[in-house]
Amino acid sequence: MANDIDRQRNIAFVGPHHAGKTTLVEAVLAQCGAISRRGSIADGTTVTDHEPEDVSHAQSTTVGFAHCGCGPIDVTIVDCPGFIDFFEETKLVLAGVDAAVIVVDADPSRASHTQTLVDYLETRKTPHCFVINKMDRPGADFEGTLEALQALYGRHVVAEQWPIVDKSKANDKSSGFAGYVDLADMQAHAFSGDGETGSAVPGEILDRVKSAHTELLEAMADFDDHLMEELLEGVEPPYDEVARDLCDECAHDQIVPVLVASAATGAGLGALVRAMEKWFPSPAQAQQVDAEGRTIPPDPGGPVVARVIKTMIHPQSGKLSVVRVLSGTIKSDATLTDISANDEKVRSGGLYRLQGKKQEAITEAGPGSIVAIARLEPVKTGDTLTSNGHKVLLPRVPLSEPCFAMAIKPKERIDEAKIFQMLARIVDEDPALRLARADITNEFLLLGSGEQHVTIAVERLARKYKVEVDMAAPQIPYQETITSGTELHSRYKHQTGGHGQFGDVWLRFEPRERGNGVTFDEKIVGGVVPRQFIPAVEKGVREALMHGPSGYPVTDIHVTLYDGQYHDVDSSEQSFKTAAGMGVRDALPKCHPVVLEPVSRVTVTVPTAYTSTVIQQLTGKRGQILGMNPADRTGFDVVEADVPQVELSRYITELRTATQGLGTYSARHERYDPVPGNRVGPKAAV
Ligand SMILES: Nc1nc2c(ncn2[C@@H]2O[C@H](COP(=O)(O)OP(=O)(O)OP(=O)(O)O)[C@@H](O)[C@H]2O)c(=O)[nH]1
Ligand SMILES: [Mg+2]
């Protein structure tokens, strides 16, 4: 009899936005009896879309966990959000599963939306299959979608099922999806009620199904010499051999079978559940390695090695860290070592299995389990936990740099430290978010993978911690400089009964090379400005330079104090500082000031088909194209350009719209350039 670990499967449901992952997970849970009634996206009642933000947006906004016993196997399912903004979180949980089901629409035009994901799975060698979903929809195009996937990924992506469509039952609400042919054993199955019955392969698809059967065998034969020999000799391989090869080749990420389903009607679920059992590896078969490439055997009696794949924080009940146990057995109330945090000792609270928002208490979790542990306060997503100080570090999942930022400000006066603390908890739950303080403008920034990512984080902040914030596009840190020099005399003289005030300075203003900032110098001879007042002159100059004629800080300027006068009684630091400030304010308008804007060096990675679109888009943003080269990733180009920062505030959204979500970019500050025609309004008063 199989032991526990052999019965386990850890599977992520992934795929493009709205392809039907959450609906399919719900259908699988119902099919396997884990829930008595299927919830729906429309009613906001599914198990895995349980966060209020999932419900209000009618989409997954974070990963959801569920589990069910499916016949002989016990499956933990991770339902991943499809919207591209949440891909970083998907990457973190993919490090904790052994296989992935990629759900796609039965629509060839959407096949390319899987590219980033498939590249990622293939790099990690994660076994996966495709499920072409929404087969019930009128116009569902199985064959077109299959061809589009094969065009993108090759012939190892191969149909294992062929849909049977009963055209007499097709209408404006249904495609007439009536069953499927299993291309491994060539048996036809008709959907009936909640199940399936055996049927004959309809005559009109018989030829196509036969050739699809051959294509499946040929794809498998590429990885199996014996099967190849049989095909070359014209021998039909026995079904047992085909089934065995299919399991083996899928589990090793050689073959990627394609299945059909309708999550909405439940059609095709039985076959999907059987596929998860047969084709996907158990945790015992899926090899796990540490950061140095050493294998970690799944030994229930060995030291604990676990990876934190998700952090959840409930304002009332506290923190839950979802971990994938690789080895050893975790018990509740045990001491663990956080190897990623300088071997800090942490005491675990209760252990739970998650069924959506429900937490089911358990006493221990062995290798292969995905479980939530309460109250591991200092522990972060991605960390490695071990027992007894066992020194093993798991490889980190590299996250992409955030490419979208919003400036945030509390709506009501609230202690800044407090809001920072609460935002830090939101970031703890989602490490793809980042908090920062902007240079120059000093604004508080929340950065993420896109507009929706940041907006939803702010909604969560309001719901969980009752902190409402205003969001705005970050201010552009414009600066000013001068393009010609001048010399100027400034005197501050004030008589108010007793002590007067007297400061008198001659200042010279000269432009400096770009990027050299503000410098101050003095050439006073004969003590015409006494030594003790010179620092006050510099202070007055520097303070006045904080606000140029257009209100922005002035840079790349050299100011020299070269003459002046003083009064024995009335001169003071303050009077010299005031005289200097007045001098700066009078001089700058005479020096042909210009506003400078920050320019970013942008690196865009994009499928070759979109390269010219991207170049056009960047040029339209006043971008200066620096070069275009093939990327390391096959079929992609890298375009480099210098683009004014003001043009980039929503660039990630525009880039994704123009490239079917496939374009990515990074940007770093490069330099300041004069704004053409000085076309920037004066800085708004703050
Ligand atoms: N007709 C039909 N509609 C479906 C099917 N599966 C899902 N839908 C609908 O498609 C929409 C999106 O479904 P979801 O299950 O939320 O899709 P998802 O892939 O989880 O979406 P994200 O998590 O936001 O990426 C919902 O309105 C579902 O009711 C299907 O098989 N047939
Ligand atoms: Mg979903």
Pocket of ligand 1, candidates 13, 17, 22: which has the most ligand atoms within 8 Å of its Cβ, to mutate?
Answer: 22
Q: Please state the atom number of ligand 1 nearest to the C-alpha of residue 58.
A: 16
Is the predicted pLDDT of residue 678 greater than 80, yes or no? no
- List, in order of start, the domains of the chain with CATH numbers: 4-278 (3.40.50.300), 305-386 (2.40.30.10), 404-472 (3.30.70.870), 480-591 (3.30.230.10), 597-678 (3.30.70.240)
H-type helices in 327-372, by residue range?
none
- Tell me the C-alpha to C-alpha distance, in Å, between residue 478 and each of 80, 496, 587, 679: 40, 40, 20, 12
* Torsions phi, psi for 41 (to 5 deg): -65, -45
Distance (Å) from CA 21 to ligand 1 centroid? 6
Atom 8 of ligand 1: nearest residue by CA position? 20
What's the alpha-carbon Rg for the chain, to the nearest Å? 32
Torsion over CA of 490, 496, 499 and 501, rounded to 10 degrees? -10
Distance (Å) from CA 665 to ligand 2 centroid? 26
Pocket of ligand 1, candidates 41, 61, 259: which has the most ligand atoms within 8 Å of its Cβ, to mutate?
Answer: 41
Q: Please state the atom number of ligand 1 nearest to the C-alpha of residue 25.
A: 15
- Mean pLDDT computed over 173-186: 95
- Mean pLDDT computed over 304-311: 97
d(CA 119, CA 94): 13
- Tell me the C-alpha to C-alpha distance, in Å, between residue 450 and each of 336, 403, 560: 36, 7, 47
CB distance 310 to 80 below 8 Å: no
Helix (H, G, I), strand (E, B) or coil at 656: helix
Distance (Å) from CA 487 to ligand 1 centroid? 71
- Mean pLDDT computed over 338-356: 93
The pLDDT tens digits for 549-565 are: 999 999 999 999 999 99
d(CA 656, CA 112): 13
Atom 24 of ligand 1: nearest residue by CA position? 59
Cα 445–451–452 angle (5° rounding)? 120
CB distance 139 to 109 below 8 Å: no
Is the predicted pLDDT of residue 414 greater than 80, yes or no? no
pLDDT of residue 683: 64
H-type helices in 234-305, by residue range?
239-251, 269-278
Distance (Å) from CA 657 to ligand 2 centroid? 20
d(CA 200, CA 260): 18
Pocket of ligand 1, candidates 13, 21, 23, 28: which has the most ligand atoms within 8 Å of its Cβ, to mutate?
Answer: 23
Helix (H, G, I), strand (E, B) or coil at 10: strand
The pLDDT tens digits for 425-463 are: 999 999 999 999 998 899 999 999 999 999 999 999 999
Q: Please state the atom number of ligand 1 nearest to the C-alpha of residue 26.
A: 15
- Mean pLDDT computed over 366-373: 96
Distance (Å) from CA 596 to ligand 2 centroid? 45
The pLDDT tens digits for 247-278 are: 999 999 999 999 999 999 999 999 999 999 99
Is the predicted pLDDT of residue 411 greater than 50, yes or no? yes
Q: Please state the atom number of ligand 1 nearest to the C-alpha of residue 261.
A: 31
Ligand 1 site residues (CB inside 6 A) read: 17-23, 41, 59-60, 81-83, 103, 133-134, 136-137, 262-264
pLDDT of residue 1: 36
User: What mean pLDDT is reported for the chain?
Assistant: 94
Atom 30 of ligand 1: nearest residue by CA position? 134
Pocket of ligand 1, candidates 13, 14, 17, 18: which has the most ligand atoms within 8 Å of its Cβ, to mutate?
Answer: 18
- Mean pLDDT computed over 291-306: 94
| DSSP assignment of 379-436 | --TT-EEESTT----PPP-PPPPP-EEEEEEESS---HHHHHHHHHHHHHH-TT-EEE
Instruction: Please choose, from the candidates 351, 287, 282, the residue with its C-alpha nearest in 3D space to the C-alpha of residue 323.
Output: 351
E strands, 128-273, where?
128-133, 157-159, 161-165, 177-182, 187-192, 195-199, 256-260
pLDDT of residue 336: 95
d(CA 133, CA 22): 12
Is the predicted pLDDT of residue 679 greater than 70, yes or no? no
Q: Please state the atom number of ligand 1 nearest to the C-alpha of residue 83.
A: 25
Neighbours of 324 (CB within 10 A): 27
Distance (Å) from CA 270 to ligand 2 centroid? 21
The pLDDT tens digits for 455-490 are: 999 999 999 988 888 999 999 999 999 999 999 999
Residues found in the chain = 686
E strands, 411-539, where?
434-437, 444-448, 469-472, 479-482, 486-495, 500-511, 518-522
Is the predicted pLDDT of residue 685 greater than 60, yes or no? no
pTM over the 0.85 mark: yes
